[in-house]
């Protein structure tokens, strides 16, 4: 209580942070309003979280450590210091977990990104028009602009409407939220021209290129104007930083099959490898496998290997090839990403 009282009496000039002084109305020509009650309560919570918890926890940890160091074989003194340290860490953990649980529950129940900043103060709507005629809602803190993000005023307007035509004009993206660039279509055709990849991959219609869960993200280059987006801002799935023709990336997924094929001709066949004449050689009247003559491919890693071979053998116009846990990501050469990546664990393609 002493700390809280001291913070309330601090002059405004001494406040180096937003929550000091805790009471910021009632002085000079700034009258207090019903909104200030909520603002004061918010600053009081911030003061306890940021101004009290950290320093007090640090002090208690130092005291606990000093007690343990100075115990000099005294079990009682050592156990007191240990208990003090443990309780302090438990207290910090409870405070942080409480915030995380609250954040998780609110964002899980809220629609879209309506409560992404629930922890920032805004005057309740039913109080904004009550009380003093001079009362105004607390001004919102303008977010920092990043890259080609539009002005905050326009973002606020688009959040209400999320009009596709306006979004595509502002971000210079195709009006159709499901557009694929011609270069990406050439890359996909080039890779699927290989019979092994075609046999291992899901059908062309199921390949993930543009975003499907929230199509507006394709119009905003992944910026969360109209909700959460599956990829990072300026991802090649959204055309990169400046692309204007649609998606420049595709994700390949394994279809669950196992494929046997002849290495030299890449001819797919069914049945056991040992039954194929191209794969065997007669030794003392027995059919044995020729080393490297035939292969078996399966799984996401197997699909990745065959895509890698195909890109090199067919010289497909690819800028980035990357295995992302449960799929293979491929970006076309037109995508203006700064990343160039090929998996380093894959052997060069066999002739």
The residues spanned by each domain of the chain are 2-128, 152-332
Neighbours of 31 (CB within 10 A): 13
Cα torsion 173, 175, 181, 185 to 10°: value is 150
Residues in Cβ contact with 289 at an 8 Å cutoff, skipping those fewer than 6 apart:
273, 274, 279, 280, 281
Structure tokens at 229: 């987006």
pLDDT digits (tens, 9 = 90+) for 139-192: 555 555 555 666 776 666 655 567 778 888 888 998 878 889 999 999 999 999
Is the whole model's pTM more than 0.75, yes or no? Answer: no
Residue 30 has pLDDT above 70, yes or no: no
Residue 348 — very low, low, confident or very high, per pLDDT cuts 50/70/90? very low
pLDDT digits (tens, 9 = 90+) for 67-84: 888 888 788 888 888 899
CA 192 to mean position of chain CA atoms: 29
Distance, in Å, from the CA atom of 295 to the CA atom of 28, rounded to the nearest integer, reads: 84
């Amino acid at each position: 209580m002493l700390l809280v009282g001291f913070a309330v009496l601090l002059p405004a000039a001494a406040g180096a942070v937003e929550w000091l002084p805790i009471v910021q109305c009632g002085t000079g020509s700034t009258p207090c309003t019903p909104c200030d009650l909520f603002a004061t309560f918010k600053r009081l919570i911030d003061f306890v979280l940021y101004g009290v918890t950290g320093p007090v926890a640090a002090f208690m940890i130092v005291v606990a450590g000093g007690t343990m160091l100075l115990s000099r074989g005294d079990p009682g003194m050592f156990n007191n210091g240990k208990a003090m340290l443990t309780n302090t860490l438990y207290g910090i953990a409870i405070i942080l977990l409480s915030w995380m649980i609250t954040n998780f529950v609110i964002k899980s129940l809220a629609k879209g990104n309506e409560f992404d900043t629930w922890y920032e103060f805004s005057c309740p709507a039913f109080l904004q028009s009550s009380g003093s005629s001079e009362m105004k809602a607390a001004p919102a803190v303008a977010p920092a602009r990043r890259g080609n993000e539009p002005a905050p005023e326009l973002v606020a307007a688009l959040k209400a409407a999320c009009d596709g035509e306006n979004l595509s004009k502002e971000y210079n993206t195709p009006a159709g939220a499901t557009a694929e660039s011609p270069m990406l279509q050439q890359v996909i055709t080039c890779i699927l021209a290989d019979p092994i990849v075609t046999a291992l991959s899901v059908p062309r219609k199921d390949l993930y290129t543009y975003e499907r869960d929230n199509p507006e993200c394709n119009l905003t280059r992944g910026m969360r104007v109209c909700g959460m987006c599956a990829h990072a801002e300026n991802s090649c799935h959204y055309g990169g930083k400046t692309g204007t023709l649609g998606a420049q990336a595709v994700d390949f997924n394994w279809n669950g099959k196992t494929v046997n094929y002849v290495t030299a001709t890449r001819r797919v066949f069914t049945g056991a490898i040992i039954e194929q004449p191209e794969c065997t050689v007669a030794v003392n009247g027995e059919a044995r496998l020729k080393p490297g003559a035939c292969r078996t491919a399966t799984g996401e890693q197997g699909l990745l290997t065959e895509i890698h071979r195909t890109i090199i053998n067919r010289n497909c116009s690819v800028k980035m090839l990357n295995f992302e846990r449960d799929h293979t990501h491929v970006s076309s050469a037109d995508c203006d990403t700064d990343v160039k990546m090929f998996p380093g664990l894959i052997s060069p393609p066999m002739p």
